[in-house]
């Protein structure tokens, strides 16, 4: 697709994902006509002032000439908009969404007779922040992007959309919506339940002094990071993908039962094999691939317990122009190395910081 693209693209919802995709399009295809629709007028105003969108629209009928329309609002809003879009869009318009579960939107698409127009999408990205203000034009770059076409959309449209995403820097992977929901259940939905269950396990055993909370500040907090996700979001996700989540949780429960049996029967070999199998598979996962669960970009280093030691280390980062997201002292290091934890917004910044600190003869650990 040429950089002087004459496409007209509509966005329904300009939050983190919608705003980031729109910004990516503006960066790669600066001449694209981009229309924005959102109930949040402040997001529309900001997007217009930044030239992310070409104009705002107050009704979906104004998107009648769009080649692509991205449904980036919450699913129940997207579904409610479908009857209006059916009456308005042109014959070759492609509708796409960015949701993490496909069952509800696909059911609604078929009920509204829009299957010929629909190619589902799910960029495997996220952020601790939300809303248009948190969006950026590189969020989907080098990230996997699920493409889940309906069974009746034509192959030419699928290929054109795949190429379009590649032009934006994403890595499109094509699956059926059913397979998408199965995969995301195992690599995202079930892990979120397990992480929250681990936190609940510890919280239920907390003493009056809050000592478990203090001791859990190291590796335990790392492996349960996703338990800090929005309860509202996860209530909807789990109830939208119940069959796959239930199957996954039952299979996980079987793994726990197997470990309980190994421990009860003093089965040392079984315990070893359990951990060895998991360790080998985890070590085979690409280090810097962007998955559906947001990554941390952390660097750990040892610093002496001396005045200004922390300020000096952090100062080196700032002087080098590397953006630092957060810092923390790790008191429980039973499973970890490095007393000072430096968190960054992206992998490139973390690598640059690690290289800089090593040159300055700090003991640096990456993981």
Tell me what pLDDT residue 339 has: 62
Tens place of pLDDT per residue across the chain (367 aa)? 545 568 999 999 999 999 999 999 999 999 999 999 999 999 999 999 999 999 999 999 999 999 999 999 999 999 999 999 999 999 999 999 999 999 999 999 999 999 999 999 999 887 656 789 989 898 898 889 999 999 999 999 999 999 999 999 999 999 999 999 999 999 999 999 999 999 999 999 998 888 888 887 767 887 888 888 888 888 989 999 999 999 999 999 999 999 999 999 999 999 999 999 999 999 898 765 555 555 567 888 777 766 777 888 888 888 888 888 777 765 433 344 446 778 887 778 888 888 888 888 888 876 5
Do residues 143 and 163 both lie within one domain? yes
- And the tokens for 361? 């003869």
Tell me what pLDDT residue 337 has: 41
Q: What is the domain count for the chain?
A: 3
Tell me what pLDDT residue 100 has: 92
Residue at a domain's end among 283, 317, 333: 283
Q: Which of 68, 90, 48 is nearest to 1 (CA)?
A: 68
Residue at a domain's end among 226, 253, 283: 283
- And the tokens for 364? 């640096």
Domain assignment of residue 268, given as a range: 181-283
Tell me what pLDDT residue 334 has: 36
| Pair 100, 75: CB distance under 8 Å | no
CATH number of the domain at 165, please: 3.40.50.720
- pTM for the whole thing? 0.76
CA 25 to CA 21: how far, in whole Å? 6
Do residues 37 and 70 both lie within one domain? yes
| Pair 64, 88: CB distance under 8 Å | yes
Residue at a domain's end among 155, 175, 195: 175
CATH number of the domain at 250, please: 1.10.3660.10
CATH number of the domain at 319, please: 3.30.70.260
Residue 291, in any domain of the structure: no
| Pair 342, 327: CB distance under 8 Å | yes
Find the Cα–Cα–Cα–Cα dihedral 353, 356, 286, 281, rounded to 10°: -100
């Amino acid at each position: 697709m040429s950089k002087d693209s004459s496409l007209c693209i509509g966005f329904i919802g300009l939050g983190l994902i919608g705003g980031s995709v729109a910004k990516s399009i503006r960066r790669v295809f600066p001449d694209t006509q981009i229309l924005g629709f959102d109930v949040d007028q402040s997001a529309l105003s900001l997007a217009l002032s930044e030239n992310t969108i070409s104009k705002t629209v107050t009704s979906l009928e104004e998107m009648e000439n769009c080649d692509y329309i991205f449904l980036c609002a919450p699913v129940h809003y997207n579904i409610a908009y479908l009857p209006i879009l059916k009456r308005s869009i042109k014959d070759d318009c492609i509708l796409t969404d960015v949701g993490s579960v496909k069952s509800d939107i696909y059911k609604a698409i078929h009920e509204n007779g829009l299957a010929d127009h629909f190619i589902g999408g799910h960029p495997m990205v996220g952020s601790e922040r939300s809303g248009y203000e948190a969006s950026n034009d590189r969020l989907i770059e080098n990230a996997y992007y699920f493409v889940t076409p309906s069974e009746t959309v034509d192959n030419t449209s699928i290929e054109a959309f795949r190429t379009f995403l590649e032009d934006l820097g994403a890595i499109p992977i094509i699956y059926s919506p059913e397979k998408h929901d199965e995969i995301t259940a195992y690599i995202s939905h079930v892990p979120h339940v397990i992480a929250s269950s681990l936190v609940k396990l510890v919280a239920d055993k907390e003493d009056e002094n809050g000592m478990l909370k203090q001791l859990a500040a190291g590796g335990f907090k790392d492996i349960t990071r996703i338990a800090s996700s929005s309860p509202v979001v996860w209530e909807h996700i789990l109830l939208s993908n119940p069959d796959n989540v239930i199957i996954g949780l039952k299979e996980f429960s079987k793994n726990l039962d197997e470990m309980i049996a190994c421990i009860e029967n003093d089965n040392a070999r079984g315990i070893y094999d359990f951990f060895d199998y998991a360790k080998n598979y985890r070590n085979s996962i690409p280090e810097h691939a962007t998955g559906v669960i947001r990554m941390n970009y952390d660097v750990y280093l040892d610093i002496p317990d001396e005045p200004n030691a922390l300020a000096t280390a952090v100062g080196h980062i700032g002087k080098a122009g590397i953006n630092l997201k957060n810092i923390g002292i790790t008191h429980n290091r039973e499973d970890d190395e490095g007393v000072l934890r430096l968190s960054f917004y992206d992998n490139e910044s973390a690598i640059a910081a690690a290289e800089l600190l090593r040159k300055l003869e700090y003991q640096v650990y990456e993981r």
